[in-house]
Structure 1
Amino acid sequence: MALCNRVRSGIALFQNSAVIASQRSTLQRSLVAPSIPLASRNYANVPGQKDNKVKVPLALFGGSGNYASALYIASVKANAVEKVESELLQFAEAVKNSAKFSMFIKDLSVAKDVRVKTIQDICAAAKFSNVTKNFLVIVAENGRLKYLDTIAKRFAELAMAYKGEVKATVTTVVPLPPEEEKALKETLQEIIGSGAKVNLEQKIDPSILGGLVLEFSQKVFDMSIKTRAQQMERVLREPISVANI
C-alpha cells in the first residue's frame, strides 16, 4: 500500500467515459472465446477481430498470446500501438524494479477491488493512455497480473510486426565488434528483403563456448562450438559397422 500512497497525489479522473467503455468492451470481447481452448487457439483469428477489421500479424498461442492479441486489436483501433507498447513495457519494468509491488501483483489473496484500485491509481499517476489503463484493469480483474511480463513481451512482438520490423537475436560469447554486427545486420536484411527492417539484439552466453546462435523469423541457426561438440560426440559414440570398413 506504500506504493499506492506515493502515487495517490497524481491520480486523475478518467475522461470520456463513453470511449473508455467502448475500449473495455473491445478488450473483453477479444478475450472471451469459450469454444476454443486457450492452449490451442490460433490468435491470427482472435475472437472479435472480424468485427473490428483488425488483422493480428502473428499467430500467438497460450493465455499470454490471447491477452497480447486482444490488446493489439484495441491499440490498432485507437491508433496507439507504439504508445501502448511503451507504456506496457514501462509498467513491466517498474514491476521488476520494485520487490514489494512485484509481490503485490503475484499475491492472489489480495482482494480484487484492492488490486483494481491500485492499478487504476498507478496508471492515472503515470498518465497512461486509456487503452493501457483499461487493459491493465481487466488483467487485474481476471487475476492475471503475474503474467504481465510475458504479455508485454508478446505484445512487443506484435508491435514490431505492426511497424514492419523483424527481430533477430544473435547470441555470442563476447559482444560482436561494431563492424561484424553491421555486416551481420546487412546480411539479414538481404535475406529478409526490403519489405521489413531488421532489429538486431545481441545476447551474451559464455556457455555456448564460441561461434554464434542466430534466431529470426521463428528460425534458429545454431553455429555454436557447444552444439558442434555435442554433434561430434554423438557421432563418435555411434557403433562402428565392420561391414562398412
Structure 2
Amino acid sequence: MAAEDPSVSGVSGRYATALFELARDEKSVDAVMADLDKFSAMLADSADLKRLVRSPVFGASEQSKALVAVLEKAGIGGISANFLKLLTANRRLFVVADVIRAFRALVAKFKGEATADVTVAEKLSDTNLDALKAALKSVTGKDVALNVNIDPAIIGGLVVKLGSRMVDSSLRTKLNSIKHAMKEAG
C-alpha cells in the first residue's frame, strides 16, 4: 500500500503503514488518528516538545521519560502511545511529523477521502475551515481532510495543495508578482 502512494514512502511511510495496518486490524483507526492529531497540535504549540522531538542531544531514555509524561498529561494511550514510545526507543521520534502526515494520507485513502495541505497566515475559525472543506468537496466530489499549517510569512490568503494541484492565493505571492511586473516595466 505504501508503495502506491508517493506521499507515503521512506522510513516515515513504513512506520505509518505499520501503524495504520495495526489500527485497522484493531478497528481503532479513528481513535489513533484523534490521538495523533492531538500530539501533532501539541507539537505545533510547544517549542519545548519540538526540541525534545528533534534534538539529537537528548538520549533515548531522556526522550522516553519526557514523552511518557507528555502522553499521560495529554491522555494519549493505547496503540498511539505505544507507537510513539516505539519511535522513541528506535531513535526515530524526529520523523514523527512525517509519520503523522503519511498516516493521515493512508486514513484518507482508506475512507475514500482526499487530503489537502493548506497553508494560512493565521489560525482559521471553524466556520472558515468548514467553508474550505465544502469548497474543496465541490471540486473533488470527495470529503477532504485538511492538513493546516500556519505560516505568517505568507502575510494573508492561503495556499492549497490537493494532490498534484496547487492554488496559491497568498498575499506574498501576489506582492512578488507585482514586484516582478514593476521590474519588467521599469
**Pairwise TM-score range, normalised by the shorter structure:** 0.5 to 0.7
**Secondary structure in 1 matching 2:27:** coil
1:103 paired with 2:66, answer no
Q: Which residue of 1 aligns with 2:165?
A: 219
User: How many angstroms apart in 2 are the aligned matches of 1:101 and 1:134?
Assistant: 19
Structure 2 counterpart of 1:154: 102
Deviations 1:62-92 (A, max 9, x none): 4323322221222222222112222334445
Measure the CA separation in 2 of the matches of 1:234 and 1:91.
41
For the 8 Å contact 2:2–2:14, the answer to whether it is kept is no
What RMSD in Å do the two structures reach over aligned CA positions? 4.5
| Structure 2 equivalent of residue 44 of structure 1 | 2
| 1:18-97 paired onto structure 2 within 5 Å | 44-45=2-3, 59-93=7-41, 97=46
Identity across aligned pairs (percent)?
Answer: 24
Deviation at 1:210, TM superposition (A): 5.0
Aligned residues, how many? 183
Which protein is bigger by CA-based radius of gyration?
1
Local SS of the residue matching 1:143: coil
CA–CA distance in 1 between the matches of 2:133 and 2:89? 42
The TM-score, its normalising length taken from structure 2, stands at 0.64
Partner Cα separation in structure 1 for residue 84 and residue 126 of structure 2: 40
- State the TM-score, normalizing by the size of structure 1: 0.52
Cα distance in 2 for partners of 1:177, 1:121 equals 30
Instruction: Please state whether the residue corresponding to 1:60 is helix, strand or coil.
Output: coil
Does the 8 A contact of 2:2 with 2:9 survive in 1? no
Evaluate the alpha carbon distance shift between residue 149 and residue 121 of structure 1 in structure 2; reply closer, same or farther with a 3 A threshold: same
User: Counterparts of 1:65 and 1:216 in 2: how far apart (Å)?
Assistant: 19
Partner of 1:28: none
Mark the CA change 1:235 to 1:161 in structure 2 (over 3 Å): closer, same or farther.
same
Offset at 1:197? 0.8
Unaligned runs of 5+ in 2: none
Alignment counterpart, residue 128 of structure 1, candidates 63, 70, 77: 77
Q: Cα–Cα, structure 1 residues 207 and 117, in superposed 2: closer, same or farther, change >3 Å?
A: closer
Once residues 210 and 105 of structure 1 are traced to their aligned partners in structure 2, the CA distance between those partners, rounded to angstroms, is 29
Specify every segment of 5 or more residues in structure 1 that has no aligned partner in the other structure, as ranges.
1-42, 46-55, 241-245
Q: Structure 2: which amino acid aligns with 1:44?
A: A
Inter-CA distance 143–213: structure 2 relative to 1 (3 Å threshold): closer
Q: Which residue of 2 aligns with 1:29?
A: none
Cα deviation per residue 1:107-147 (whole Å; 9 max; x = unaligned)? 555355x7667767887895722x33442343122111233
SS of residue paired to 1:221: strand
CA distance in 2, matches of 1:173, 1:94: 17
**Residues in 2 aligned to 1:101 and 1:228: alpha-carbon distance in whole angstroms:** 32
User: For residues 101 and 213 of structure 1, do their structure 2 counterparts lie closer, same or farther at Cα, with a shift above 3 Å needed?
Assistant: closer
